[in-house]
Amino acid sequence: MDNNSTGQQIPTGVAASTGLAIDQKQETGLWHFIKYTAHLLARDKAGTIGLIMFVIVVLSAILAPWISPHDPLKQNLRHAKKPPAWYEKGTMEYPLGTDNLGRDILSRIIYGSRVSLTVGFFGVLIASSLGIVIGLFSGYKGGKTDNIIMGGVNMILALPYLVFVVFIAAILGSSLLNVILIFGFTDIPIFVRITRGEVIKMRASGFVESAVSIGATGNRIIFSHLLPNLIGPIVTIATFEMSAMIFYEAGLGFLGLSVPPSVPSWGNMLAAGRKYLVIYPWIATFPGLAIVFTGLGMNLLGDWLRDVLDPRMRRVKK
């Protein structure tokens, strides 16, 4: 595809629909896409805030070694259980205080975002790629194939999710890879359902039928017509699922079933801080806030994406 593919989401408004503005030069390319996105963000404050929150988390994960004030693993019992800077006994050296072993909480939160995002990103990557393939197959084939696949999917969805995940995690043992695989595979049904629903909707809509009528092959219909139109809904759901995975990872960590306790992760930090919740509340509070911050940011972003990527929004308004 040419570089128009980035500029295609631009509703040029009533002007274009009337055909009178048709001789204006159409702007295309990356720069226009950025301008257009900025323009859409300006329209939606919550979306902007969500995006900023998400970017902060991503940047802190990427830049962790450079921005964290301390080594997250370095214990210093002399400075253990230091309160945050604004407390009387707090110092600017440990802005959010230290935990029971004297490790800097801010640094651990910054490093913890790496675990959360890794789990979220790769979990969604596995779930969505397999989910899309199965969903496309199921929706495109229809009939018996579809019934069997959807039967299986609904069975998995009927299981109590958290119990199921905890059970598998307990069997497989705790490691980052296992957590990613567990979330990746257990989340497939969500993507299967979304993909299948969209495919069935698109098959009923005209352009798939008109592709059939010009003699398009099955592959062409799937790759050239169905898949590109799936991007919008999938990206939206992926955002929500990623935030859900971050929550669940923290939950597993809290139960001691996620990454090993030595690795700084938000769930582990919560678990460690639980014992001191009354006396040294900051140990558990800040990782908790980090989880809420990330989750909120991603959900706001997801809501905004849903609006922006919905093809109906691109339709010229009458």
> Which residues here bind another protein, judged by CB under 8 A?
2, 4-5, 8, 11-23, 26, 28, 43, 205-207, 209-217, 220, 224-225, 228-229, 311, 314-318
CB of 207 to another protein, least distance (A): 4
Between 6 and 116, CB nearer to another protein? 6
What are the backbone angles phi and psi of residue 316, rounded to the nearest 5°? -65, 130
Work out the widest C-alpha separation in the chain, in whole angstroms.
Answer: 76
- Other CB atoms closer than 10 Å to residue 1's CB: what's the count? 8
Which residue, 40 or 157, has its beta carbon nearer to another protein?
A: 40
In the complex with another protein, which residue's Cβ is closer, 46 or 316?
Answer: 316
Contacts for 285 with CB less than 8 Å, ≥ 6 apart = 273
For the bound state, the minimum distance from the C-beta of residue 182 to another protein, rounded and expressed in Å, comes to 34
Alpha-carbon distance of 299 to 129, in angstroms, equals 21
149 vs 44: CA distance, rounded Å: 39
CA-only gyration radius of the chain, Å:
24
Please give the structure tokens belonging to residue 192.
């299967």
| 229: CB partners within 8 A, 6+ apart | 198, 202, 311
For residue 92, what are its two tokens?
């600017």
- Closest to another protein by CB, 38 vs 63, is 38
The answer for residues whose C-beta is within 8 angstroms of residue 96's C-beta and 6 or more apart is 84, 85, 104, 105, 106, 109, 282, 286
Cα(47)–Cα(299) distance, integer angstroms: 9
Nearest approach, Cβ of 139 to another protein (angstroms)? Answer: 17
Are 75 and 46 in contact by the 8 Å Cβ rule? The answer is no
Q: Which two tokens stand for residue 142?
A: 């229809």
Compute the least distance from the CB of residue 133 to another protein, in Å.
20
Specify the residue, 23 or 88, whose C-beta has the smaller distance to another protein.
23
Closest contact distance (angstroms) between CB of 256 and another protein is: 45
| Smallest separation, CB 14 to another protein (Å) | 5
Closer Cβ to another protein, 28 or 285, answer by number: 28
> Please, which residues have CB within 8 angstroms of residue 40's CB and are 6 or more apart in sequence?
47, 308
CB of 10 to another protein, least distance (A): 8
CA 275, CA 295: separation in Å to the nearest integer?
24
Closest to another protein by CB, 105 or 230? 230
